[in-house]
Amino acid sequence: MDVSAQLDAVARGIETKEVDGVLSFVQTLSQTYPSPIGDVWDAVTTAERIPRWFLPVSGDLRVGGHYQLEGNAGGEIRNCDPPSAGSAGYTLTWGTGMGEPAIVQVRLTALDAASTRVELQNIAAVDSIPDGFWEQFGPSATGMGWDSVLLGLALYVGGEGMSPEEGQAWLATDEGKAFLRGSADAWASEHIATGAEPDVANTAATNTYRLYIGEVPPPAM
């Protein structure tokens, strides 16, 4: 795998702004995939295909229904707009049992007949973040997970998908750790671009990287 190419293929951004009247951290990731919008939409919305690049999912996958990713997040599907006139998207809540659920918005745009841009926004109310968590771990805590999700989708669309077990095993390899370190550094750069002190941003990214590779235990929440 070309780890650098995958990391470079993702555009990232961070904003702190009001969303529906609530001050929120908004993290955005986007990547273009070599597949028609209908196929990408099917891959990111159907219970049969989601486990091929992410995790097994259960629940009622319709607007107003609740979903649960195996061993991970769950929440409510807020809206769903299937492909029409070259665009599609859905919004859901994303909760892991730690604090207030985030809002996740996924938008698909057909760039042409054979390529689709996927944009994902993770919106977390500032007041929902535990005291000291952002200062200790920064945007990498969320961003590295989403980078891994976009990687899984890229491998799947490219015909080289990993099972969840294979993906976890790969992340423990030198190549997988290089991917995680690169993701942490990319988010540190975005953090600095928003005005964070470089030492603060880089330390937070390193803290998160060490958490992801198991060098430090998860924080008490």
pLDDT, tens digit, 9 for 90 and up, residues 3-46: 999 999 999 999 999 999 999 999 999 999 999 999 999 999 99
Residue-level pLDDT at 83:
98
Answer yes or no: is pLDDT of 96 > 90.
no
Answer yes or no: is pLDDT of 221 > 60.
no
Lowest mean pLDDT across 18-27, 125-134, 147-156? 125-134
With a pLDDT cut of 90, the percent of the chain lying above it is 86
Hey, what are 107's tokens?
A: 């938008």
Residue-level pLDDT at 216:
74
Answer yes or no: is pLDDT of 118 > 70.
yes
Output the pTM of the full model.
0.94
Residue-level pLDDT at 124:
95
Which CATH architecture group holds 3-212? Answer: 2-Layer Sandwich (3.30)
Residue-level pLDDT at 94:
96
Residue-level pLDDT at 142:
95
Per the prediction, the chain carries an average pLDDT of 94
Answer yes or no: is pLDDT of 138 > 90.
yes
Residue-level pLDDT at 220:
60
Answer yes or no: is pLDDT of 65 > 60.
yes
What is the band of 163 on the pLDDT scale with cuts at 50, 70, 90? Answer: confident
